[in-house]
Chain A
Amino acid sequence: MTIPRRGTWLLVIAGAGGGIWLGIRLFGWLSGTG
């Protein structure tokens, strides 16, 4: 099963955004503030 390259870009951008959110949550958990 394949996905168009435009869809791949959307996945990558969504992944980057989700990664930033994950990093914020992870740091809050590590520092005990989140």
Chain B
Amino acid sequence: MRAADRSGSDPRLTDAIGLALAVAAMAACVTLVFLGMRAVMDVGGACADGGPYVSAQPCPDGVAAAMFLGIFGLFGSGALVWRYGSRIGEPFESLPFLAWPALFCSLGWNFLEYGLFAPPEGAGIVWSWLIPGILFELMGLVPLWGWIVAMRYARSAGSAGSAGSAGSAAGTVAKPLPGPRQPTRPPRPSTVAAAPAARKPTTAREAALSGLAASFGAAATLTAAQAKLGGGRAGADDLEGGPAAALVDRLEKLAHLREEGLLEDREYEAAKSVVLHELDALA
């Protein structure tokens, strides 16, 4: 996506102008709905036009067109804002989201003003407008707060990322990002050499490694004994029984453990080199 490529770099002028025009259209739509609502509230809060019935309260002139243009225009202008904003990157990409708090906070203000600050003459506080006013403000402000937090988080993440790369070059340590703390991964049990004597094995993998290491110890002891008795002489007969066959058996076990996933490639290669070294000693 182009946003990821262009985020952080200077946007093209045509994209910026397109974004500004789309934002203007979005703001105009919100304004139309805002003013249309006020016009309806001026005549009591409800009106109707058209249809086979005679309306008790016809709508003020232009309200129907303003509402139609405002509501449906919001969808179109929001899509345009997203289109141009995505070419530039965050936070411009998420600007269409601001249409929601802008709409609900402005409409909520209408409810609050007509219900609390400027109620109809002699009506006092109009609770039926005050309560939706509070609800509308909450519906607008809570998502707005979430958007601000998300943008601040994204900004700090971006700056920490760049500071991390720059800091590593300068020999400094970047500040860790806010967020859920990652559990500290326990150190992996060491492979063939340390497994048997360190502690009791707790997993199948550790048990396999422990047994393998014990076998290696036995094979090495046999190899040393044979070298001591036979003066290091070894031939083809030794491969059919004795230490050499045991070492070949170890190789097969190693391959089997790797196939089962109990040994990683690196561990397998290390263990295999030990076996081959023992075979070289026999030869």
With A7-B16, A11-B17, A20-B31 in contact, is A27–B66 under 8 Å at CB? Answer: yes
Give the distance to chain B from A9, nearest Cβ to Cβ, in Å: 9
Chain A residues near B31 (CB-CB < 8 A): 19-20, 22-24, 26-27
Interface code B26-55, partner A: CB below 8 Å = 1, 0 otherwise?
111111101110010000000000000000
A32 in contact with B61 (CB, 8 Å): yes
Chain B residues near A29 (CB-CB < 8 A): 62
With A7-B16, A12-B95, A27-B32 in contact, is A19–B26 under 8 Å at CB? Answer: yes
Interface code A1-20, partner B: CB below 8 Å = 1, 0 otherwise?
11111011001101111111
Most buried by A among B20, B26, B29: B20
B24 in contact with A31 (CB, 8 Å): no
B22 nearest CB neighbor, chain A only: A15
With A3-B16, A5-B10 in contact, is A23–B92 under 8 Å at CB? Answer: no
Chain A residues near B39 (CB-CB < 8 A): 31
A31 in contact with B11 (CB, 8 Å): no
Interface size on B, residues (CB 8 A): 37
Give the distance to chain A from B64, nearest Cβ to Cβ, in Å: 9
Give the distance to chain B from A28, nearest Cβ to Cβ, in Å: 8
With A23-B27, A27-B36 in contact, is A3–B11 under 8 Å at CB? Answer: yes
Q: Is B197 an interface residue (CB 8 A)?
A: no
Q: Tell me, in angstroms, the Cα distance from A1 to B68 when the chains sit together.
A: 38
B26 nearest CB neighbor, chain A only: A19
Chain A residues near B30 (CB-CB < 8 A): 19, 23
Q: Tell me, in angstroms, the Cα distance from A4 to B123 when the chains sit together.
A: 53
Q: Is B65 an interface residue (CB 8 A)?
A: yes
Chain B residues near A22 (CB-CB < 8 A): 24, 27-28, 31
Give the distance to chain A from B100, nearest Cβ to Cβ, in Å: 15
Binding site for B on A (CB under 8 A): 1-5, 7-8, 11-12, 14-20, 22-24, 26-27, 29-32
11 further A-B pairs in the complex, CB-CB below 8 A; given A11-B20, A24-B31: A3-B11, A3-B16, A12-B92, A16-B23, A16-B26, A19-B25, A20-B31, A22-B27, A27-B35, A30-B61, A30-B66
